[in-house]
Structures are given as structure tokens and as C-alpha cells.
Amino acid sequence: MLDVHKSKPKDLESIARSGSPLRRIAARIPTYLTDVRENPAWLPMFLLARTMPFRRAHWLMAEPVPQISAPEPSMFGAIQAETVSAELKRTGIFIGLTLPPAIHEEIARFGQETPCFGNFERKLEFLAKDHAEAERRFGRTILSGHHFERVLQCEAAIAVQKDPLLLNVARHYLGGEAKLITTRLWWSFPTKSASDADLSRASFKYHFDLDDWRMLKFFFYLSDVDGDAGPHVYIRGSHNRRSIKHQITLLVGHPAEEVLKFYGEDSVLTLTGSAGTGFVEDPFGFHMGTLAKQTPRLMMEVGFGVSKPSKRRYHGEPVVR
């Protein structure tokens, strides 16, 4: 349970973690413009959902939870959606989901046998076991590998995505209109070829997600994760309070010292665990995935929201120009 060669920052992942605030915003502009063209309602959400008054007003519009005569069996056992929702409302995160061995082993096998795309770039395609060779071949530091839509070819991943507990929790927390919006599977890689600049760019900042007005994300480790394998970190309680500065800036990422000064170091929760370990969080709370230092991390995410899902961003792929 829980307890290459030197590269230039040409890809969105690298740029988003480095440089000036203006440069980081500029790197995302193509993605933002594409989102607005696909769904004009995305823009007011992106601008207003970061502010507490507008968020609270939107939560007041949540639909009632549909009545279920008898809940369907779940691979997670007898966990009650009401219990999970209550803890989410209190701290923003619930720990205690565990995938059955057959499920997490099948997804892990899929992740190992199916090519991924490095640093969000489809031209950087390789198997996870060939990561070091891929860095040499592409002449790039590769810190992540995303499977994008290929995860939907994995029957075990689909079983997790469709498990009734996930939707039931989402409805109890987000409202009756909650729906599936994302499913992701990706690797975080340690690398011996990174320069100091690469490692600096890879040091994730605390950030919050703004993919929808109300969101919930389930995360599952598909490999053992200790302190050197890129554990996920969450700031408890940061989902329902926010400093004025963090509400009026367009940036979602902020330095650790700035975040911890407001929320306190005792609010930090670092999540380690063996393969199969899972948790669910409100991603509006500050969180980050830390750098994998010694061993690669394979992780799956299943996200729920209340707005119409984006066909283009269903797999988390940015637009880079």
C-alpha cells in the first residue's frame, strides 16, 4: 500500500517547466487556441475556474446523485463511494485503492510491450526497455513516454476505466452529471545523460489542473514507486482554498517554497507504494509528479469531469508548433 545527449527545450514538456512565465504561456498558446476552436466554452472555464468565487458558484449547480438500487460489484471490493467523497471534500485526496494483481500486471505488461512516445512527441517512438538506446538514437534527453490512445487497446485498462466504483465516486463528489473524460498511461524515466539544465527543467513545480470546472482523477502505480521512482505529491486541503496570487495568475505552476509558505509543510503528502497502489484526488489541489531518479515509473490516470469531453485532448496530447 501507500507508504542522452544534452537537449534543448524544444518540446512543450521541457518549455513548460523552464524559462520565464511569458515563455511558458507562449509555449501553450497553440494548444489553447485549438481548445477554444473546438469548444468556445473552454475559454471562460480556463479564465474563471481558477478563482474560488466562480468555482463555488459552479459547484452549486451540481446535479443530484442518481439513485442506485444495488451497486454493481467493483474490483476494489467494498469501498463506499460516500466514504471516498467525504474524504475528498475534507482533504482533496483519498488513499486506499488497490488494483487486483491480474489487472495491474496486465496493464504493466501492455506498457512494457507497447511503444510509447517520448516527451509528448509522436516522432520519438520506442519501447520503455529501450529508453537509453532511444536517447542515443534521437539525440535527446527523454524524461517521459506517453501511450496516448494506445492505452484503449488494453482490456485491463478498460476494465479499470469502466469499474462502477470510479463513476459512483465521481458522481458523489462532482455531481450526477460526472462523466469519464480522460484515460492516460505513461512512463517517467530516469536518465544518466541529462545535463544540469535538463534536470532543472525536469524538476516539476507544484501545479493545479484546469481541464474542467470540476474534476476528479484516479491514479494507479503500475510499477513499484519509492522515493527515487518519481512519487506523486499532493498538498492536502489546497483544493478548497487558494491565495489571491494563485487565483489571478494565468500560470498553474508555482515554486515549492511559495506553495508551502501558504499551505504549510505539514500539508504535503508524498505517495509511495507497490505496483497496484491507487488513489484519487481533486486535481485543483496543488500536486506534482517528482523526477524519477533511479527507476522508471509507469502510471495510469482515469479522469472524470462535468463538461463535454475534448476529442482532441482526451489523451492529454498538446499542440506544438
Q: Is residue 71 part of a domain?
A: no
Q: Is residue 191 part of a domain?
A: yes
For residues 116 and 127, give the distance between their C-alpha atoms in angstroms, rounded to a whole number. Answer: 6
Residue 303 has φ and ψ, to the nearest 5°, of -115, 145
Q: Is residue 160 part of a domain?
A: yes
Q: Is residue 103 part of a domain?
A: yes
Q: Is residue 320 part of a domain?
A: no
For residues 207 and 3, give the distance between their C-alpha atoms in angstroms, rounded to a whole number. Answer: 23
Residue 271's domain spans which residues?
Answer: 12-66+77-305
Strands 297-305 and 215-221: antiparallel
pTM for this model (two decimals): 0.89
In sequence order, which residues have a C-beta less than 8 Å from that of residue 292 and are 6 or more positions away?
143, 188, 189, 190, 228, 229, 230
CATH code for the domain in which residue 207 is found: 2.60.120.620
Residue 229 has φ and ψ, to the nearest 5°, of -110, 25
Q: Grid coordinates in use for 36?
A: 477554444
Q: Is residue 4 part of a domain?
A: no
**What is the domain count for the chain?**
1
78: exposed, middle or buried (C-beta count within 10 Å: 0-12, 13-18, 19+)? exposed
Q: Is residue 312 part of a domain?
A: no
Q: What does each of the 321 residues of the chain score in pLDDT, given as a tens digit?
A: 555 333 344 554 554 444 556 666 677 777 777 777 888 888 899 899 999 999 999 999 999 998 877 778 999 999 999 999 999 999 999 999 999 999 999 999 999 999 999 998 999 999 999 999 999 999 999 999 999 999 999 999 999 999 999 999 999 999 999 999 999 999 999 977 665 555 544 446 899 999 899 999 999 999 999 999 999 999 999 999 999 999 998 888 888 999 999 999 999 999 999 999 999 999 999 999 888 999 999 999 999 999 987 776 656 677 665
Judge whether 179 and 305 are in contact, CB under 8 Å. yes
Q: Is residue 3 part of a domain?
A: no
